Structure 1
Amino acid sequence: MLTLYHSPHSRSTRIIGLLHAMGILDRVKVRIVSVARNDGTGGPDPLNPHPEGKVPVLVHDGVEIWESSAIMLYLTDLFPASEFGVPQGDCQRGRFLSWLSWYGGVMEPVIVFNHMGLEDPILHATFRGMPEIIARLHKALEQGPWLMGDRLTAADLLIASPFLWFKDATPDDPLIRDWVDRVANLPWQGAVMDYETWHMAPA
């Protein structure tokens, strides 16, 4: 059995989006849990198996999978017919894995540091900065409408997600803005927003 622990309007929303995109929402039990939020509301939920009280966490037959990129990879491998992943043996598999890893290991930390106004030579040497993030995305999108060229994958849903939450943070780059708009206007995105509205996290 697959169970997703989810708190609406949080990082786990992108997993709900992937489930809608893949057409497998009915094959995953979604348990709504509370999480501590930046505005001081919410808090740890004893029903949430994540050791830090975060979301998302996916449990498959008793085995926990955490981190959005790992969950997306796991689901796209588990349901390859959805074609939102890149299967083993495909020559583009390595590129797909790189995008998923780059998001959590580089892009999200840089966005957080940038938002907080943190600057330090060690941070830049380790993660680089927003100019490098923008350049990496721009170069990829020059080669096709999606990060994997002509193929829409979970990588697009993951990497575009912070710009869907914070529109004002979207880089002022036409290729990136057009890509974010395409992701925002995918046919099932309205269903995701409806789902979030009807499944607000408990107080």
Structure 2
Amino acid sequence: MITLYHAPRSRSTRIVALLKELDALEQVKIDVVAIPRMDGSGGRDPRNPHPDGKVPLLDHDGTLVWESSAIIQYLAELFPAAGLSVPAGHPRRGPYLSWLAWYAGVVEPVLTLQAVGVDHPAIARTFRTEAEIKARLTETLRDQPYLLGDRFTAADLLLHSPYAWFGKPGVPEIDAWVDRCMDRPGARFAAEFDAGHPPA
């Protein structure tokens, strides 16, 4: 049995979108749980086995997978027929894995720190800057619709998500890519799902 522990309007919303894209909604149970929210609402849900009480968390027959980038890679490879992953041995496997890791190691820390107003030269030296993130995405998307070319992958689903949350950056290439990703069946389904399950 596979269970996704999900809190509406949180980082786990992108995993709900992924399940729709993978045509895996009948194979994966979505268990809606509460989490502590930034505004002080909510709280830790005793039904959620995540070690930090957060989401997303995937439970596959007792094996726990946490962190969005790991869950996205895990699910995309578990349901390969959807074509959202890049298999081992493929020339684009390296860039695909690199985008997933770049999101977790660079994009999310930089954009989160910026959102809460934290700025320091050491952060820029360690993680890079928002300007550098936008420059890399702009260059990549200048002549192709998605990060790996003409095909939407799980990397696009993950990488566009902060802009779906915080708002588009006002860069034509990035904004158009975010619009394409947000117009996908997965994004539309996840928005409808969360609308029907208000946060606890």
Q: Under a length normalisation based on structure 2, what TM-score does the superposition of the two structures give?
A: 0.96
Code of the aligned partner of 2:173:
L
Look up the SS of the partner of 1:175 in the other structure: helix
1:198 CA drift (Å): 1.7
2:191 maps to which residue? 193
Following superposition, the deviation at residue 188 of structure 1 comes to 4.0
Q: State the TM-score, normalized to the length of structure 1.
A: 0.95
How far residue 40 of structure 1 moved from its aligned partner, in angstroms, is: 1.1
Matched residue, 2:5: 5
Provide Cα deviations, 1:118-155, integer angstroms capped at 9, x if missing partner: 22121111001011000110111024100111110011
- Moved >3 Å (runs of 4+): none
Question: What stretches of structure 2 of length at least 5 have no aligned partner?
Answer: none
Structure 2 equivalent of residue 184 of structure 1: 182
Q: Corresponding residue for 1:97?
A: 97
1:190 is displaced (CA, Å) by 2.5
Please say if residues 69 and 101 of structure 2, whose CA atoms lie closer than 8 Å, have aligned partners that are also in contact. Answer: yes
1:135 corresponding residue in structure 2: 135
Aligned residues: CA RMSD:
1.1
2:154 corresponds in structure 1 to 154
Q: Distance in 2 between matches of 1:58 and 1:147?
A: 25
Q: Mapping of 1:1-203 within 5 angstroms? A: 1-167=1-167, 170-201=168-199, 203=200
Q: Secondary structure at the match of 2:162?
A: helix
Aligned residue type for 1:196: D
d(CA) in 1 for partners of 2:93, 2:130? 26
* Distance in 2 between residues matched to 1:83 and 1:76, nearest whole Å: 8
Superimposed CA distance per residue, residues 22-61 of structure 1 (whole angstroms, 9 cap, x where no aligned partner): 1111110111110001111100011111111110000111
* Separation in 1, partners of 2:117, 2:196: 35
